[in-house]
Structure 1
Amino acid sequence: MSRFNRRGARPATGSPVATTGERATTHEGGAGHLRDTRSELFLLAVGNFVGTDAFYERGEQRDDRYAQLIRRLAVTDPDWCTGFLRWLRTGAHMRTASLVGAAEFTKARLEAGAAGHSRQVVDSVLQRADEPGEFLGYWMSTYGRKLPKPVKRGVADAVQRLYDERSLLRYDTDSKGYRFGDVLNLVHPSPAADKPWQGDLFQHALDRRMKRDESIPATLPVLRASRMLTSLPVQERRAYVRDPTLVTSPGGLAGAGFTWERLAGWLQGPMDAAAWEAVIPSMGLMALARNLRNFDEAGVSDAVAARICARFADPEQVARSRMFPFRWWAAYKHAPSLRWGHALEQALGHSLANVPRLTGSTLILVDRSPSMFPGFGFSTPNRSDITLAEQAAVFGSALALRAEKPTLVEFGGDSREIDVPRGGSVLRLIERYGQIGGTDIPTAVKKHGAAHDRIVIVTDEQSRPGWLPSNMSGHGGMRETEIDALVPKDVPVYLWNMAGYKAGAMPSGTGNRHAMGGLTDQAFRAVPLLEAGRDATWPWEDRRA
């Protein structure tokens, strides 16, 4: 009998998130599997908002675990850790975690007497002009005022890239512990060679910090325009906003670096339709999506709303916004008017461009247990009212609507199938989910997993034990079962981890058992590779990432 040369036999594949073979228990007492250091760090980082409690872990516990993993790999595997931290900021869009990671990476290498990498890592994670100050704030509050050379040089490199007139107006405020002038005094950057105006900007930032910025050089026209508008009498400002020729002039709102937040303070009163319509053209997609309710309440015109919708429907603008997919669901959830609905659906679709169109039959299990919702005194890990459960529903629904033969199931202690309409809306499909007590992944797999070509599970992995009756186990009584034991070895199982807890619910990294993670759609890129018989790599090692 042929055992190996069979039709449909898949080549063995590997994926980066790997278990070690060591066993543990989940937070709910089910059988768990420990991952290697890189895998544990990866899954924790892509789902962790620093300083924020999760359902089963306090924020300080997660932060300490994250720091210890970074410090270990900074010494034992600095090349991998360097690529990871750069990607964490620029690919996974995790801002605070990448800054903290770069600081802990640098500290660990300094303590070990290891040279190299640190300056480049610090520079790579600072991608917004307020982040040099954020990084220095973390370093000094954790390790004191002495700044090592790699920190100074990495921050100075970032300052050259990031500091300009508009960023100074936006981020150099009295609320910051470290102003632009403070950062300049601490790291002493040289002006960039290709920015002849930057020396004047640096000097102005220093003068501004000392409140001696009476004059502004002619090389800084945005700051000069801003000062002119600031000097305008308050009673004349609304008339100014209502005059389109003034608003769009070189010294107008956009030319003076006005954000919507600054405009609201400048008017010293409510933002009416005219005020919003004056500043909307210069707003980014994140700001637009977060203010849809304000636009409706102020009475922004349908013509302006149509222009906003056109921007939401533009895949290039959506990609540049770096918004998590769940942010588009949040915008839809909170927008009172239906005029935004179709454009938000398009934007969500663009943000999920990497979700594959899987052929054959696919079981998609979406965790709706209590640990995926806020409660028990813990805040939700993304510091918003969009829970892990809703985030999981975004990914599960998108996958189901693109799959050839999907079976979409929400589960907890029990489970329920959700009808997937052909050509349906991801946003509308998310509204069909409920909440189910308990977490029992094996029972959901056992109930729904038969005769599928693959299984995708979107979960925090903290399952209760699953159980089989004695006539199935071959032994008396009942015995605990696991996902791996319930699914034939030739059926792939892709487990999408949403929370980054230490113990996983199944082995992963080889054969047909693979774990993924993150709040973006990038992890989906691994699925077509694995099903084509190719090994999947870390996202920053993928040329498309």
Structure 2
Amino acid sequence: MARFNTRAATARPTSRVTSTGRVLRTYEGGRGHERDARSELFLLAVSHFVSEQTFYETGTDRDDRFTGLVRELAVTDPEWTAGLLGWLRGEGNLRTASVVGAAEYVKARLEAGATGGPTGRQVIASVLRRPDEPGELLAYWTFRYGRSIPKPVKRGIADAVRRLYTGKALLKYDTPSKGYRFGDILNLVHAAPDPDKPWQGELFRYALDRRFHPDTAEPPASVPVLGAHRELMALPVAERRAVVTAPGGAERLAAAGMTWEALAGWLQGPMDRAAWEAVIPSMGAMALVRNLRNFDEAGVSDEVAAQVAARISDPDEVRRSRQFPFRYLAAYQHAPSLRWSYPLEQALGHSLANVPALPGRTLVLVDRSGSMFYSRMSDRSELTRADAAAVFGTAIALRAEQADLVEFGTGSRPVRFRKGESVLKILDRFGDLGGTDTTEAVRRYYRKHDRVLIVTDEQYSYSRHGDPTSQVPSDVPVYTWNLAGHRAGHGPSGTANRHTFGGLSDAAFRMVPLLEAGRDADWPWVA
């Protein structure tokens, strides 16, 4: 008699975020599930803004947990850790956590005398993607470990410097407010110019002169943007606004690498309509998104506004900017004019391009408890994890064949929507629901759905009915999106039909169709 090869045999795919089997308590007192070190670090890393405080953890506690896990895995599992850190800065688009993680990777391996696996030099270079980041990494290292910089850090920074330093980068990021100027970094790491960039040697010399001999520093002719910038800076203040309004003014500003921040200081006066209209053509897509309110207050013309709208809603621009979807929600909430609403809706849709169109019936539960409102997305943002949860939950529900969208806290209630409706309009229907009774929300609304998706920080309160995932039959998939990275999960993960993902981008959504097609879901950076 056949025991295994029967018609009922089906694949039981698994995901990488895995529980150990050890029972913990959530911060709310619910029955929690411990995750292994890799899973805990992954969920913490993709939700971690360094020094950011949450409802349940201080910023220092989270930082210590993050660095402790990085240091442990840098020694015991360097291939995996290096892959995480490179992906975190790349597709994950989290700068500070990846820079801190790379520094701690090097420190832990040096202390342990570890060899084999990706070198510290490789890991450092992999996380430095923007010209100001070599200085960020050096500042972190010296603050934490002193001014003795080990060779792997120096060599990784030197590799990044050759790749990142240009004339425009110098103008934008080499400012007196920085603790490490470009010249300081070049002096410290002894970066040789890229032989494939003949102009870079002169650029490096100018950066050094600009830092240590500013009175005699002369911009090299081989980097035209530096000379054009110096010409503008030499103009008397009284003549500068005429440059903005003259024919070809926008082109001259762009050729001189003039950012909107630099333009505001250069004019030594208000950023009026003419100033904005001159600099808008050379602004990046996300700089445009962040300044929509300023454009309205200055009264930029409808013609220029239409150009801005086309830029910020262009799918290629959205893809290149690699911004989290909640950035567009923030812009929508703060821009006073209705002329930006539809372009922002389009941009939000493009940023959620990986959300799958799930077949059958889907139950989507969005955590709107107090802890989700307490934790902001970053120190510079007013948006909360509750906002992010609502964005993702709504997008899933709109894209699914049939979906029930529910918000929960102490209580729970459905969020009504129609197919084709605006994500941004639906978000206005979510509320603040107090405590966290995830289990009861699942019990109340699960009605033989084909799958359940829960977007949450996983910190549910004690329930006599057990954890939230136990309310769903074992043959029905439950997907949890963890937006906080706390240690204890609200249910098991890594087993058949129980999967936990993390992060504020939509990369993890790709895993759902894989799992439902009977395939295992690997870490996002594994091809």
**CA–CA distance in 1 between the matches of 2:304 and 2:421?**
28
Q: Equivalent of 1:517, from 502, 519, 522?
A: 502
CA deviation after TM superposition for structure 1 residue 482, in Å? 1.5
CA deviation after TM superposition for structure 1 residue 382, in Å? 5.7
Q: Equivalent of 1:406, from 403, 420, 428?
A: 403
CA deviation after TM superposition for structure 1 residue 112, in Å? 1.0
- Residue 147 of structure 2: aligned partner: 145
Give the secondary structure class of the aligned counterpart of 2:231. Answer: helix
**CA–CA distance in 2 between the matches of 1:449 and 1:7?**
28
CA deviation after TM superposition for structure 1 residue 513, in Å? 0.2
Give the secondary structure class of the aligned counterpart of 1:192. Answer: coil
Alpha-carbon deviations, 1:369-395, whole Å to 9, x = none? 000012xxx765564101000010000
Alpha-carbon deviations, 1:439-492, whole Å to 9, x = none? 011100000012111000000000001234xxxxxxxxxxxx112321101110
Indicate whether 1:360 and 2:360 are aligned. yes
- Residue 236 of structure 1: aligned partner: 239
Indicate whether 1:127 and 2:124 are aligned. no
CA deviation after TM superposition for structure 1 residue 60, in Å? 0.4
Q: Equivalent of 2:175, from 173, 176, 189?
A: 173
The residue type equivalent to 1:53 in the other structure is Q
**CA–CA distance in 2 between the matches of 1:455 and 1:105?**
37
Give the secondary structure class of the aligned counterpart of 2:27. Answer: coil
- Residue 189 of structure 1: aligned partner: 191
Q: Equivalent of 2:228, from 225, 229, 241?
A: 225
The percent identity for this pair of structures is: 62
The residue type equivalent to 2:197 in the other structure is K
Indicate whether 1:465 and 2:471 are aligned. no
The residue type equivalent to 2:476 in the other structure is V
**CA–CA distance in 2 between the matches of 1:381 and 1:192?**
36
- Residue 282 of structure 2: aligned partner: 282
Indicate whether 1:493 and 2:478 are aligned. yes
**CA–CA distance in 1 between the matches of 2:361 and 2:77?**
40
Give the secondary structure class of the aligned counterpart of 2:255. Answer: coil
- Residue 50 of structure 1: aligned partner: 50
**CA–CA distance in 2 between the matches of 1:212 and 1:151?**
32
**CA–CA distance in 2 between the matches of 1:205 and 1:322?**
30
Alpha-carbon deviations, 1:139-183, whole Å to 9, x = none? 111111111110110000000000110000000001000000000
**CA–CA distance in 1 between the matches of 2:395 and 2:5?**
36
Indicate whether 1:502 and 2:487 are aligned. yes
CA deviation after TM superposition for structure 1 residue 247, in Å? 3.0
Please give the TM-score of this superposition, normalised by the length of structure 2.
0.97
**CA–CA distance in 2 between the matches of 1:508 and 1:350?**
30
**CA–CA distance in 1 between the matches of 2:85 and 2:216?**
38
Greater Cα shift, 140-149 or 111-120: 111-120
For 1:16-35, list aligned pairs within 5 A.
Answer: 16-35=16-35
CA deviation after TM superposition for structure 1 residue 52, in Å? 1.1
- Residue 540 of structure 1: aligned partner: 525
- Residue 475 of structure 1: aligned partner: none
Contact 2:206/2:217, CA 8 A, preserved across alignment: no
CA deviation after TM superposition for structure 1 residue 217, in Å? 1.9
**CA–CA distance in 1 between the matches of 2:350 and 2:376?**
29
CA deviation after TM superposition for structure 1 residue 310, in Å? 1.0
CA deviation after TM superposition for structure 1 residue 5, in Å? 8.2
CA deviation after TM superposition for structure 1 residue 332, in Å? 0.7
Please give the TM-score of this superposition, normalised by the length of structure 1.
0.94
CA deviation after TM superposition for structure 1 residue 246, in Å? 3.4
The residue type equivalent to 1:509 in the other structure is G
For 1:446-485, list aligned pairs within 5 A.
Answer: 446-468=443-465, 481-485=466-470
Q: Equivalent of 1:201, from 182, 200, 203?
A: 203
Alpha-carbon deviations, 1:289-331, whole Å to 9, x = none? 0100000010011111111111122111101001111001111
**CA–CA distance in 1 between the matches of 2:410 and 2:389?**
17
Q: Does the C-alpha gap of structure 1 residues 5 and 422 become closer, same or farther in structure 2, counting only changes over 3 Å?
A: farther
- Residue 472 of structure 1: aligned partner: none
Q: How many residues align?
A: 524
CA deviation after TM superposition for structure 1 residue 243, in Å? 1.2
Contact 2:288/2:312, CA 8 A, preserved across alignment: no
Contact 2:71/2:105, CA 8 A, preserved across alignment: yes
Q: Does the C-alpha gap of structure 1 residues 329 and 353 become closer, same or farther in structure 2, counting only changes over 3 Å?
A: same
Q: Equivalent of 1:246, from 227, 244, 249?
A: 249
Q: Equivalent of 2:383, from 383, 386, 392?
A: 386
CA deviation after TM superposition for structure 1 residue 517, in Å? 0.6
- Residue 309 of structure 2: aligned partner: 309
CA deviation after TM superposition for structure 1 residue 212, in Å? 3.6
Structure 2 residue runs without a partner (length 5+) = none
The residue type equivalent to 2:182 in the other structure is F
**CA–CA distance in 2 between the matches of 1:316 and 1:391?**
23
Give the secondary structure class of the aligned counterpart of 1:428. Answer: helix
CA deviation after TM superposition for structure 1 residue 10, in Å? 4.3
RMSD between superposed Cα atoms in Å: 1.6
CA deviation after TM superposition for structure 1 residue 3, in Å? 10
Contact 2:376/2:384, CA 8 A, preserved across alignment: no
**CA–CA distance in 2 between the matches of 1:41 and 1:503?**
12
**CA–CA distance in 1 between the matches of 2:358 and 2:220?**
59
**CA–CA distance in 2 between the matches of 1:367 and 1:513?**
18
**CA–CA distance in 1 between the matches of 2:277 and 2:8?**
59
- Residue 300 of structure 1: aligned partner: 300
For 1:96-111, list aligned pairs within 5 A.
Answer: 96-111=96-111
Structure 1 residue runs without a partner (length 5+) = 469-480
Give the secondary structure class of the aligned counterpart of 2:436. Answer: coil
**CA–CA distance in 2 between the matches of 1:78 and 1:68?**
14
Give the secondary structure class of the aligned counterpart of 2:332. Answer: helix
The residue type equivalent to 1:513 in the other structure is R
Contact 1:381/1:388, CA 8 A, preserved across alignment: no
